[in-house]
Chains A and B, each alone.
Chain A
């Protein structure tokens, strides 16, 4: 009986994995297919690979800097959100002040407006500041939604750390700031890692803000892909090549913080 269940569970896991990995496999294969193979009526699994798409899109079409832009934007907006959001979350977790819960809820409401409704005012604002088409514009835009995520997630993690830990640190000779930096941050590291991954992925995949706020030099990968839809048809091979490269940093990043991620996502993340 137990054996049957095991087999069934294994089959279920394999089914889910196939479902999740097949599109990725398809994209990966497509990035090596000629146009003819890519558009074949019956999907082709065995074919003579072409290695032209990668150099064509990244070197000749100049998409390589876009990878760099995407990394800059995702890393810096994640960092900025954590640097601003984690101390805010700590204050929400530890200090009692008038209007605390209202303010906390306000952070959530910043995510309720549809992005399309704020992107035009944002564009006008950034134009006045003269920072459109620079990565900083996208970094700030992405921070607007990542910040609320950090505040909401990190408050739960800080709540899970007993107050006595803060007090012990203060008795041991730390100031309030020292306590936060030297004791609370290391203890909340799993939570920070989990939050960072989510922020990074959200920023990395974001299209609308980036599409409106940058057009040339500051383009991110997500904005670059539509450029491969030409009047002569979509260059599927090159789109697939960009997509494959675009998923790599997330894979790497997730594997690096994986150890923390599991702990972080299962402990306290849902509290608030």
Chain B
């Protein structure tokens, strides 16, 4: 029971390569997130799965059945659009009921199903309204209700939260998560927001320039990014990555920065460490390095320290108030071996 992209490529009429031999396979019941910057091909992948766009080459299969040439209506998928795409001339009830009507479901059962899904999404009191009388959050719920009411095989969501304001986005995110664990539906969710991806996905597919960069569970995406791109894309503030070279167990970078490393062969390398995994020490020890504090940002409850040493700049995220600390002060930082990442300087691949 799985959905698979096999060597899917998409070249648009103007020559843009949106997808380049994408291979991706996932099981039913998963909450898959397609994550990538704009132009990474994530929306195109979603639309090709929906049948709204035709792949230039490659095969889409569902449970082993080739659906590549099937029109959207024969694929048993629903979709939630970024701008909701509700039918303005129909009431909320009729909007939700519409996929059932098109599929010729009996009148009685339509009423039951619509009320059931409306209750689930807490929109029962708006059923008589028109889409133009709804707020963004309400319209979003109606769109989700319309996508879930007929129990499709997969529910596709193309950046459904990006038109909501920040607080509502968080609430809706939590609700989607709850919906998924309650219903056990299969979701494919497209976003450029790494935080959304990390919280929602049971698995995340990171795309860049039309290619799949990493497909894994969120924890591994965060702790073992397969490339420098993933490492920098996931996590805010972004991972500190220092270009340098390893010589005899010492990592050396511009401006005389150097630090000892474990179990790494010599050669040019980029070393990364996440801002939240750097330890700030009160005193100098064997493991610490002295940095000069450049800028301090208080982002309650965290503190961001922008430090520099020679030609190396780093961000440190400290989860407490640093008290009185001035620009230009010396801070002692430890970079734990277990949290360091090493990437090939040439192509950004992870060194394992």
Which A residues lie at the B interface, using CB under 8 A? 96, 162, 164-165, 167-176, 178, 182-183, 186-187, 189
Which B residues lie within 8 Å of A171 (CB)?
Answer: 50, 52, 72-73, 77-79, 99, 147, 156
| Contact B83–A164 (Cβ < 8 Å) | yes
A171 to B85, CA, bound (A): 11
A165 to B, closest residue via Cβ? B85
B51 to A, closest residue via Cβ? A170
A170 to chain B, nearest CB (A): 4
| Contact A173–B102 (Cβ < 8 Å) | yes
**Given A167-B79, A172-B73, 6 additional A-B pairs, CB 8 A:** A164-B85, A167-B50, A168-B86, A172-B99, A176-B71, A182-B102
| Contact A178–B102 (Cβ < 8 Å) | yes
Within 8 A of A (CB), among B52-75: 52, 71-73
| Contact A172–B81 (Cβ < 8 Å) | no
B115 within 8 A of partner (CB) = no
20 A-B residue pairs with CB within 8 Å: A96-B13, A164-B83, A165-B85, A167-B52, A167-B79, A168-B79, A169-B87, A170-B51, A170-B71, A170-B72, A172-B73, A172-B98, A172-B102, A172-B146, A173-B102, A173-B103, A175-B73, A176-B71, A178-B102, A186-B89
Which B residues lie within 8 Å of A178 (CB)?
Answer: 102
* Highest count of chain A CB atoms <10 Å: which of B72, B146, B156: B72
* Highest count of chain B CB atoms <10 Å: which of A168, A170, A176: A168
A181 to chain B, nearest CB (A): 12
Sort chain B's interface into a size bin. 20 to 34
| Contact B102–A174 (Cβ < 8 Å) | yes
A-B contact count (CB 8 A): 60
| Contact B71–A175 (Cβ < 8 Å) | yes
B21 to chain A, nearest CB (A): 25
Within 8 A of A (CB), among B76-117: 77-79, 81-83, 85-89, 98-99, 102-103
A96 to chain B, nearest CB (A): 7
Which A residues lie within 8 Å of B156 (CB)?
Answer: 171
| Contact A174–B73 (Cβ < 8 Å) | yes
A175 to B73, CA, bound (A): 7
A18 to chain B, nearest CB (A): 39
Mark contacts of B101-140 with chain A using CB atoms, 8 A cut-off: 1 yes-contact digit, 0 otherwise: 0110000000000000000000000000000000000000
Which B residues lie within 8 Å of A189 (CB)?
Answer: 89
| Contact A162–B88 (Cβ < 8 Å) | no
| Contact A170–B73 (Cβ < 8 Å) | yes
A186 to B146, CA, bound (A): 19
- Asked whether A170 and B85 contact (CB < 8 A) given A175-B71, A175-B73, A178-B102, the answer is no
Which B residues lie within 8 Å of A96 (CB)?
Answer: 13
* Highest count of chain A CB atoms <10 Å: which of B88, B102, B147: B102
A172 to B87, CA, bound (A): 11
| Contact B85–A167 (Cβ < 8 Å) | yes
A158 to chain B, nearest CB (A): 14
A169 to B103, CA, bound (A): 12
Mark contacts of B16-55 with chain A using CB atoms, 8 A cut-off: 1 yes-contact digit, 0 otherwise: 0000000000000000000000000000000000111000
Which A residues lie within 8 Å of B51 (CB)?
Answer: 170
A178 to B147, CA, bound (A): 19
A168 to B90, CA, bound (A): 14
A115 to B340, CA, bound (A): 81
Which A residues lie within 8 Å of B102 (CB)?
Answer: 172-174, 178, 182
- Asked whether A173 and B99 contact (CB < 8 A) given A162-B85, A165-B85, A186-B89, the answer is yes
A139 to B93, CA, bound (A): 42
A98 to B, closest residue via Cβ? B13
Which residue from B79, B82, B89 sits with its C-beta under 8 Å from A187? B89
A151 to B147, CA, bound (A): 34
Which B residues lie within 8 Å of A168 (CB)?
Answer: 79, 81, 85-87, 146
* Shortest 3 CB-CB contacts between residues of A and residues of B: A164-B85, A173-B102, A168-B85
Which B residues lie within 8 Å of A165 (CB)?
Answer: 85, 87
B78 to A, closest residue via Cβ? A171
